[in-house]
Structure 1
C-alpha cells in the first residue's frame, strides 16, 4: 500500500481536524473500495504494515529508518502518527481503530511536547518527522492479548542514536534524574509554557478470540446507519428499554409499583403546528394520569457559540408562550433532538430542567432541586446528551460505521497465544465515550446520572446503555465484555464501585443498590462500608465542574437524600456534606491539587464543601480505637430550614490533643518541597525539641504568604496548630488549624501525616535526602515531645482524670471550636 512520508506534510494537522477528516474520508473511500457485505468476511482490510504485526516471522521496519530498533522489549516499529492517519483514510481498518481511540487532549499535549523538542534538537537534524511508532502484543491468556501502540517524538530517538554513536552515556536532552516523577510528563516549568505536555502517546486495544468475543455478542452494524438518529439505533434502544424493564432483576426492583408523583411541569412532545411541524407544550404534571410515564434529559448548559442563539429558559415572561406551544425549530438543538427522541421511543412527556423549572422564582428552584431524586428516580428513562458540549450541539451525530466495528485479524504462532482469527476490541470504550465526555465533566450531570434508573447515552459515535444491571453498546448489545475494562476500572469495581458492569452479580438479601450509576451497593451491617461509599460519591462528584460554585451543596443534596433514605438515617445526621455517624474520621479529606476557597461563605472550613477542587477522601477506618479526637457537638445553620440544602454557618466542637508551632516551607537540592514546624513554647525543654518535618502535608489552598526558605531570603512563617484525629500504629493523621481572633476558635487550613518510621515513608524527599530531613524516627520523637503541651496553650485546656493510652498524649486535652 502506498504510504505518505512525513516530509510531504508541511504542518501537522490539528487533532480534532484530523479525526473529522478521517470520519468523512474513510466512509466514502471504504464504501467504494469494499462493499458492505465484506464487513462479514473472515479478515478485515489492513495496510501492509498492520498485516505484518500479526506475523511473527515478518520484520517490520519504519520507512524512514529501516535499521531503527524499538526501545522496549517485544516492540516492533509501526507507522508514525501522520502515516496512521493517512492509512486510515485509505481504508486500513486497524489504523482507523487506532486513530479513533486517540484521546484528542492527549494528542494535543503530545504535539506541544514535539514542538518543544524541536526547539531543543541539534542543528544537524534535518528531519521534519514528528513521531516514531511502536507496537507490541502482550499475552493476557491463551486466547487473549493486549495490543499496545506507542509513539514518541522522532527527535528523541535521533538524539539517542547520535548519543550512542558518540559514546555518551546519558541523553543530553532528557536526563533521567529524579526531578521527573513520570517519564510521560514534563516538569512543571516546561508544562507552564504552553499547557500540559506529554512525551509519549499510547493506545491500548484487546485481541480476543472470536469464541469469547461473541459472548455476550458482537453485532454487525448496518453500513447505512451513518447517524445516531437512524431507525436501527432507535430499534436497539427500544429493545434495551424493554429488556431492562421486564428482565433485569436489579432494575425492576426499583420500579414503583403504584402511581408516580409527577414533576410540577412536563413537556408534551406530541403536538404539531399549523403546517405539521413538531413542537412542545408545557403542561402541569399534577393534572396528568398518575400512571403516566415520562423521560428526563441530562445535558450540558454550556456557553452558546452562536451569538444569535438565545438561551431558552422557563420564567414568568416565557410561561405563557410555552403553555401555548413552541416549534422544535425555535429550541436549542439538544432540546429539539430530545423531544424527537422521546417521541420515537414511544413516550409523550419529557422533563428538561431549563424548561420545567421557573428560574426567576428562587423558592421554586430550591423546591425542584430538593425533588431531583424523585424527578430522575421515577422517570422511565434518562436521555443523556453525552457527546454535546452545550445545548447547540444536539443528540444526533453523523458517524463512521467502520470505526465502530471490531477488526478481524489472523494471528500466527510465536506471540504466546493460540494462532487463529482474533477480534480487535477497544479496551477503553466506556472511558473514552462516557467517563471522558463533556457531560461527565459536569457535577450536576453526575448527580442526574446517579439518580436515574437507566440512561441512554447519545455519544458522538454510537448509542450506549447504562442501567443498574449492565452497560451495553451498539456493537455489544448484550453487555460489554469484561476484557474491555481497564485494570483501574477493575480495581474500582473491587472497592464496591461498579462503573462498567457487564455480568450482573447475584442479588443478595442484605445488599441493596444505592444508586444506579455509578453502581454502589453496601452492606447494612457494615458502617465503614457505607461511609466509604459516600466518600467515593464525593470524590466523583467533586471531579466535575460547576458554572456556579455556590451550587456545590445543592448539587450533592439529591445524592444525600437518596443516601439517607436507603440507610435509615435522619436528615439531622447530614451536616454540610458529611454525616454525623462518620465523624471525626470523615474530617481527614484533602484536596488533590489547586484548591481555592470561594470569596463568599459556603460551608464551615472542616467540610469538603467549603473549598473548590477535587476531593480525596480518607482511607477507610475499621477500628474506632484509632480515633483520638472526640466530637462533642456539631451544629450547622441551613437556609430555609432545609437540612440538606444551602449552609449559612456551622461549628464543630471537639476535644483532643494539640501542638503549636511556626510553619515554614523549605526545598532540598532536588527541588522537593517540604514543610517544617518549629515548636513554640516558653519552656526551655520544648525549645530544645528541634524542627518537626511533615512527611505529608496537604493545604486546602495555596499558602501565598508562606515564602520558601533560602539564602538571603527572609522566611515568612505561619502560626499553626496540629490536631491529631487518628492514631494507627505507624502514623498519625490530623488537621492543621489556624487560630481566629476569638479565644478557643480555629479554622482548618490543611491536613498532616507523620510516620514513626516502621513503614515506608510516602514522601520522596525523605527517602532521597535523609541527610537533610533527618532520620524518620528522630522526627517522630520530636513530634511526640511537641504534643506534650505547652504553657502558652493552657488557656483552653482540660485536665484529664485518667491515664490515656495515646503515645503522644500529655496530661491535657483541649476543647476547641472549628468554624
Structure 2
C-alpha cells in the first residue's frame, strides 16, 4: 500500500457522480491484532456505525511502528498522515503532537510551542471508492474566482431557478429607478469601465450587492448630485472599489446585465432621493435575480473572491484494489470542526454583523455568499455550498435569515391554507407576530454605524409585512400586538449595558430606543396572554421623520388610563452584595440594579455598616423577581437618585410600576421563560420614571417580572401589597 499526491483537477476529472456505483472500503475491518496504536478495532460495537478513534494524544512514529508490524488500519492512517505532512511542511513528524477528535477523521494537530490546528480528511464527493466513516466533500481549489468555483455556483443557482417554486425565476422583472450596466465599455481614452443607467419603467434581470461599506471616507466613487451626470456616461473601472469590481465580474460570469449597489444607485447627498428609494428597498431586493453577499469582506476594498490554501489530495494504491482518493483540508480560520469557532463567526463573516444586511438577506429570493474558500448559494428553500458538505469546514451555516419575506406577494400569500400548515385565524396571525419578535431579537444585536438607522435598516421588511398583514406600525412594534411588543428586555448583564445615547431615535417604550450588543428577548413568544391591558390604551401614535412610514421617527407616545405602583430603583454597591466588596473603604463599585424590596437586605457581616435608607421597602412576600434595566442609568439630576446612609455607595431613585398582564410563567420569571418547563403564572410590569417638569409623562427604564410560589400567594400579594402602593387612576403618557 502506498500514497501518491495528485492534483485537484485530476480528482475532479476522475470523480464518478453516479452514487449507485460507489464502493465502500473499510481499512479497519481486517485483523488488527498487531496494532500498537489507536486505530479503531473491528470488535468495537461502535465500529459498524462510525470509526471511533482513541482520542488520546500520539505521535506519528507510534502509527508508523504499528503499520510496520502489519496493522492494515495503521498503514492506511500512516499514509494519510504522510500526505498531511507533505501538504503542510510546517508540521514536523517528529515534534508534532496529534489527537483524533473522535469519529469523522478529524485530527487535532499541535506543533511544538504552537496552538492546535484541525485537519479534516475526506473522500472526494462523487469518487468511485468511499472510505468507511470518512465524510464526503467536494475538493476546494482555494480560489473562488476560478472556473471550477463558478461552474459549481452556477449549477446551484440554476437548480434553484428551475426547481424551487417559492423562489421563482427573477428574470424579466420590473427594474429599479437606476442600475449599473455591467457590460464593459470604453471612453475616449480607451479606459475600461461601466455606467449608470436609468431603468425605471423597464423590465429585465439584475443582481444586488450586499456588502460592508467599511470606512465611508475611503469610498470616493459614489453617486452625488455633482457626479450623477458623469456616471450616466462613464464610471472608470479603476475608480471602483475591489468589492464592486468583483461583483461586476460575478454578474458578467452569470450573464446578468445589471447590478444594483446602494452607494451608486442612490444619490448619496440627496435626502429626498434617499427617502424615496429607501421606500422601494424591499422590492429592489425581492425582485433581483440574486444578491451577491460579500460575506468575508470587512469593507468595500476586501473583494468578493478569496484565495486560500487549496485542498491537498492523495491517491491510495494497493495491489489488486481500485485507487482510493482522499482529500486533506486545513480547517483553522474557516471551519466548523472546532466547537469554539462559532464564537468568532463575525470575524470570519463580517457581513453578517451588519444590521442593514439582515434585512437584505430576508428580502432576497436567493443569495450568492462569497465566503472564504468557497461559494454558498442560499434561497427560500435550501442552503448549499460548493463542496456539498455543510458538516465540515470551511463554513458555518449563516445566521438564520428570519422571516420568509421574499416569497410574500400580497395579502393572499398569507392565506392559512397556503402557508399556514393547518393554522387558522388568530393562531396563524400570532405565529407571524412571534416570528417578528424573533427577527427583532436577532437584529437588535447587530451593528449600525449610525444609531439613527435603527428603524430604517428594518423598514423594508416591516413595509412588506404591513402590506400582507394589514397592520399598523409603531416604531418597531405592531399596533395589533402592542402589549406583547412592549414586553422586551435586555439580555446583557449590567456591566455590558450602555446608557441611552444622545441620538434619540425612538420612544423609550420601543426596543429601538436602546443598543444591546447581547441582544433583546421578549416574554411574548413563550407565553399566553390576558388582554385586559389593551383596554386601558386610549391612543398610540408615532410621527415619522420623512416619506418612509416605517423608518425613522421624530416622536411617539402611548396614552392610557392607569394606576401606577410607587417604589424605588436601587443601585446596589458591591459592599452590599459580596463579602469581598466590603474590603474597600469608600466608593464601592456598582454591583447591580434592582428594586428596593424586603428581599434585598445587605448581607450581615461583623464590622460592616450596611447601606440603609429611610424609604419603605417593597414587600414581595418571598416572590422571585426578574429585574431588567433597559440601559445604564445613573444621572442623579435626571432620575432623582440620592445616596444611602452608611459606608457604601448604594443609591435610590423613585420609580413607578405599570402592570401589564399575567402570563404563563416558568417558575422563575423571564429568565426561565425559554426553558419550556410548565410553571406557575408570573406578572409583568413596565418600570417607569416620571419626567421632571412634565406631570403625568413617563419614560420606560426597565422590565420587571414577579413570580410567586403559587397562584394563591400571587392573588394575596395583589390584595394586600399592591393596593397600598397604587396611585389614583389617571391619564398618563409614555414617551
**TM-score, reference length from structure 1:** 0.62
1:702 to 632, 654, 659: 632
Asked if 1:454 is matched to 2:366, the reply is yes
The aligned counterpart of 1:531 is 433
Structure 2 equivalent of residue 658 of structure 1:
564
Summarize the Cα distance change of 1:648–1:34 in structure 2 as closer, same or farther, 3 Å threshold.
Answer: closer
**Alignment CA distance shift 1:400-1:482 (3 Å):** closer
Match of 1:135 among 92, 101, 106: 101
Q: Contact between 2:276 and 2:547, CA under 8 Å: does it hold in 1?
A: no
Correspondence list, 1:48-87, <5 A = 52=38, 54=40, 61-62=56-57
Query: Which deviations, in whole Å up to 9, do the C-alpha atoms of 1:555-594 show, x marking residues without a partner?
Result: 111110111122233xxx1111111111112101112223
User: 591, 608, 617: which one pairs with 2:522?
Assistant: 617
The 8 Å contact of residues 385 and 459 in structure 1, kept in 2 or not, is answered as yes
Indicate yes or no: 2:203 matched with 1:269.
no
Question: Aligned pair 1:332/2:234, yes or no?
Answer: no
Partner Cα distance (1:564, 1:407) in 2 = 58
C-alpha deviation, 1:654, in angstroms: 2.5
- Aligned counterpart, 1:544: 446
Contact 1:512 1:523 in 2 (8 A): no
Contact 2:489 2:521 in 1 (8 A): yes
668-677 or 377-386, larger mean C-alpha shift: 668-677
Q: Whole-Å Cα distance in 1 between the matches of residues 102 and 164 of structure 2?
A: 40
1:169-568 aligned within 5 A: 220-221=138-139, 225-252=141-168, 260-273=173-186, 278-286=192-200, 290-303=202-215, 310-402=219-311, 437-476=349-388, 510=416, 525=426, 526-568=428-470
* Cα distance change, pair 481–200 in 1 and its aligned pair in 2 (3 A): closer
The structural deviation recorded for 1:358 is 0.3
Residue of structure 2 in register with 1:755 after alignment = 707
| Structure 2 SS opposite 1:788 | helix
Change (3 A) 1:323 1:59: closer
- 1:675 is aligned, of 594, 613, 621, to 594
The 1:457/1:636 distance shift into structure 2, 3 A limit, reads: same
Q: What secondary structure does 2:196 align onto?
A: strand
SS at match of 2:658: strand
Residue 707 of structure 2 is aligned to residue 734 of structure 1? no
Paired residues of 1:213 and 1:423 also in contact (CA < 8 A): no
Q: Deviation of residue 133 (structure 1)?
A: 6.2
Aligned counterpart, 1:608: 511
Report if the CA contact (8 A) 2:98-2:110 is conserved: yes
Of 480, 485, 496, the residue aligned with 1:586 is 485
Deviations 1:90-136 (A, max 9, x none): 4379x99xxxxxxxxxxxxxxxxxxxxxxxxxxxxxxxx99996733
Tell me the CA shift for residue 724 of structure 1: 2.0
Closer/same/farther in 2, CA of residues 270 and 687 from structure 1, 3 Å limit: closer
Cα-to-partner distance string for 1:145-199 (whole Å, 9 max, x where unaligned):
x7888899999xxxxxxxxxxxxxxxxxxxxxxxxxxxxxxxxxxxxxxxxxxx9
- Counterpart-to-counterpart distance in 1, 2:436 and 2:292: 25
Where do 1:663-812 residues align within 5 Å? 663-664=569-570, 665=572, 666-668=576-578, 673=592, 675-678=594-597, 689=619, 695-704=625-634, 712-728=647-663, 729-741=680-692, 742-758=694-710, 785-790=720-725, 793-794=727-728, 797=729
CA offsets 1:298-336 (integer angstroms, 9 cap, x no match):
1000127xx9x5432110222232122123222100001
SS at match of 2:655: strand
Classify the secondary structure of the residue corresponding to 1:544: coil
Please state how far the C-alpha of 1:633 moved relative to its aligned partner. Answer: 1.4
Residue 558 of structure 1 aligns to a residue in which SS? helix
Q: Which runs of 5+ in 1 are unaligned?
A: 1-28, 68-83, 97-128, 138-145, 156-198, 409-420, 500-506, 515-519, 760-776, 798-813
Retained in 2: the 8 A contact 1:532–1:620?
yes
Alpha-carbon offset, residue 624 of structure 1: 4.1
**Structure 1 partner of 2:538:** 632
For residue 508 of structure 2, give the secondary structure of its aligned residue in structure 1: coil
**Equivalent residue number for residue 576 of structure 1:** 475
> What secondary structure does 1:465 align onto?
strand
- Alignment length, in residue pairs? 603
| C-alpha spacing 1:206/1:647, structure 2 compared with 1 (3 Å) | farther
TM-score (norm 2): 0.68
CA gap of 1:469–1:34, structure 2 versus 1, over 3 A, is closer
Q: Distance in 2 between matches of 1:88 and 1:707?
A: 67
